[in-house]
Amino acid sequence: MSESWGPAIVEAIRRISGTAEDTILPLHEPEFAGNEWQYVKECIDTGWVSSVGSYVNRFEKDLAEYTGSGYAIAVVNGTAALHISLLLAGVEAGDEVIVPSLSFVATANAVAYCQATPHFADVEPKTLGLDVERLDAHLAEIGAVGSDGSLYNQRTGKRIRAIVPMHTFGHPVDMESLLELGERYRLAIIEDAAESLGSLYKGRATGTFGLFGILSFNGNKVLTCGGGGAILTQDKELAAKAKHLTTTAKVPHAWAFDHDQVGYNYRMPNINAALGCAQLERVPLFLERKRGLAFEYEQFFRTVPGISFVTEPEYTRSNYWLNTILLDRSDMVVRDRILQDTNAAGILTRPVWTPLHLLPMYAACPSMDMYVTIEMQGRIINLPSGTSLAREK
Ligand SMILES: *Cc1c(COP(=O)(O)O)cnc(C)c1O
């Protein structure tokens, strides 16, 4: 391989986005063109910026309605949402939790916060999410059901308590077979839907299949609150527990400060929720534009031999959070050349995360054979995907 695909990709993205040579195209920048200013200003004008205020309740209600989840609890970020969901799913110190190695580090960190150990699983090339079939075979090989009915890792002697599927770049995991696997082994499913707000699997929103699902509203996600996250659940009792645990476990009272367990100060401030309410009003429009952008990318990459564009898996509708191309063959040199060329031209493409099982703090954790994840590291490039790129021109 002598020539880089870089210049052709730069030219195509300039054409698709209708931007000039000197415009920087971030990976995913936020857009505030709705009621954001009005709602945030109202918080400031009235003084309700912090832990009390009507926007938090409204945001939770709007999120539950939009996703079809029974309940939504707004918190400070997606990582905190994962932490609390794992605790409430019964993850205890010494347990193992199955997580994909191909994910943002928060997925594994939240497990570590519970003094549990991530047990890394490989992904499959079509969805870039957990390979359920191979995970099933792996669990059959290393696992044994104990007298308490729980699944144990025979190699470490530890209980495996939960599985955290992650809907990579917005593309849904094969949830049907995963739910079946979870049921068979009595493993709680907690969906890391941080990237997939608005994505559907068989017509139903990601984040609403597991015992819990979590969302992130970080600055680069489809919807941003500046920072923020949410816990989704269909279970009223678990929702109440999540609310309690994320609000310092304070016992409701007009003036007394009473707390009945070690709680967390994870509640989303009202000013962030105000931003979230305004952003959520525009999510349908964002998704439509992002879909249009993905379609244009797909059209272009059809003409490029050696590279394919990742489209939504069968039975799903993806939010196309981050548009993704795959090199036909894993090659870090070719990959880095494209990254170099595009970034030098102001088009801020990115590689995938370093696989989590290779990070120093997780290198000794249990894992299955990771050949797809390793291969994907040398094949994946994310393209600028912000909503403004696809604005009507
Ligand atoms: C963004 C993200 C999170 C949560 O991020 P926060 O910054 O804590 O909101 C978790 N998992 C994945 C896969 C993510 O992309």
339-369 pLDDT tens trace? 999 999 999 999 999 999 999 999 999 999 9
User: Whole-angstrom Cα distance, residue 189 to residue 163?
Assistant: 5
Which protein residue's CA is at the shortest distance from atom 13 of ligand 1? 104
**Which H/E stretch holds residue 32?**
none
Ligand 1 atom showing the smallest separation from residue 107 Cα: 11
Pinpoint the alpha helices (H) of the chain. 6-17, 36-46, 54-67, 78-88, 106-113, 132-142, 175-184, 236-246, 270-281, 283-301, 332-344, 371-377
Q: What are phi and psi of 156, to 5 degrees?
A: -110, -15
- Give the contacts of 9 (CB within 8 A, at least 6 positions apart): 338, 341, 342, 347, 349
Which protein residue's CA is at the shortest distance from atom 2 of ligand 1? 194
Which protein residue's CA is at the shortest distance from atom 9 of ligand 1? 78
Ligand 1 atom showing the smallest separation from residue 166 Cα: 13
CA–centroid distance for 81 within its chain: 11
User: Whole-angstrom Cα distance, residue 96 to residue 115?
Assistant: 9
User: Whole-angstrom Cα distance, residue 98 to residue 198?
Assistant: 25
User: Whole-angstrom Cα distance, residue 353 to residue 211?
Assistant: 27
> Is the domain defined by 36-281 classed in CATH 3.40.640.10?
yes
Measured from the Cβ of residue 287, the count of other Cβ atoms closer than 10 Å reads: 21
Kindly list the domain boundaries of the chain, sorted by start residue: 2-31+283-390, 36-281
Q: How far is the CA of 78 from the centre of ligand 1 (A)?
A: 5
Report the pLDDT averaged over residues 299-306: 96
- Give the contacts of 46 (CB within 8 A, at least 6 positions apart): none
**What is the CATH code of the structural domain delimited by 2-31+283-390?**
3.90.1150.10
97-152 pLDDT tens trace? 999 999 999 999 999 999 999 999 999 999 999 999 999 999 999 999 999 999 99
pLDDT band at 50 (very low <50, low <70, confident <90, very high): confident
Q: pLDDT at residue 1 above 70?
A: no
Ligand 1 atom showing the smallest separation from residue 168 Cα: 13
Q: Tokens 């939790």 appear where?
A: 97
Q: pLDDT at residue 389 above 90?
A: no
Ligand 1 atom showing the smallest separation from residue 217 Cα: 9
- The closest of 67, 76, 152, 164 to 114, measured between CA atoms, is 164
- Give the contacts of 238 (CB within 8 A, at least 6 positions apart): 88, 211, 212
Q: Which two tokens stand for residue 334?
A: 């070719």
Does this model's pTM top 0.75? My answer is yes
User: Whole-angstrom Cα distance, residue 20 to residue 211?
Assistant: 47
Q: Ligand 1 pocket check: which of 127, 192, 264, 268 to mutate, most ligand atoms within 8 Å of Cβ?
A: 192
- The closest of 139, 388, 132 to 285, measured between CA atoms, is 388
- 116-147 exposure pattern, b = at least 16 Cβ within 10 A, e = fewer: bbbbbbbbbeebbbbbbebbbebbeebbeeee
- β-strand partners of 259: 250
- Give the contacts of 150 (CB within 8 A, at least 6 positions apart): 159, 160, 161, 186
Report the pLDDT averaged over residues 84-108: 98
Q: How far is the CA of 216 from the centre of ligand 1 (A)?
A: 6
> Are 87 and 114 contacting, i.e. CB atoms less than 8 angstroms apart?
yes
Kindly list the protein residues whose Cβ atom lies closer than 6 A to any atom of ligand 1.
77-79, 103-104, 106-107, 166, 192, 194-195, 216, 218, 229
Q: How far is the CA of 145 from the centre of ligand 1 (A)?
A: 32
E runs forming strands in 104-240 = 117-121, 143-145, 151-153, 159-163, 188-192, 200-201, 204-205, 212-216, 229-233
Give yes or no on whether 2-31+283-390 and 36-281 have one common fold: no
Beta-strand relationship, 380-383 and 350-351? antiparallel
Q: Which two tokens stand for residue 190?
A: 């907690």
The mean of the pLDDT values for the chain is 96
Q: Which sign, positive or negative, has the C-alpha torsion 315, 320, 323, 324? A: negative
Q: How far is the CA of 169 from the centre of ligand 1 (A)?
A: 11
Report the pLDDT averaged over residues 310-337: 97
Report the pLDDT averaged over residues 7-15: 96
> Are 112 and 365 contacting, i.e. CB atoms less than 8 angstroms apart?
no
Q: How far is the CA of 115 from the centre of ligand 1 (A)?
A: 19
Look at residue 392 in the predicted model and tell me its pLDDT.
56
Ligand 1 atom showing the smallest separation from residue 110 Cα: 10
Q: Which two tokens stand for residue 25?
A: 């195209």
pLDDT band at 53 (very low <50, low <70, confident <90, very high): confident
- Give the contacts of 65 (CB within 8 A, at least 6 positions apart): none
User: Whole-angstrom Cα distance, residue 66 to residue 75?
Assistant: 17
Ligand 1 atom showing the smallest separation from residue 79 Cα: 8
Look at residue 144 in the predicted model and tell me its pLDDT.
97
User: Whole-angstrom Cα distance, residue 249 to residue 259?
Assistant: 5
pLDDT band at 391 (very low <50, low <70, confident <90, very high): low
What is the share, in percent, of the chain residues with pLDDT greater than 70? 99
> Are 322 and 80 contacting, i.e. CB atoms less than 8 angstroms apart?
no
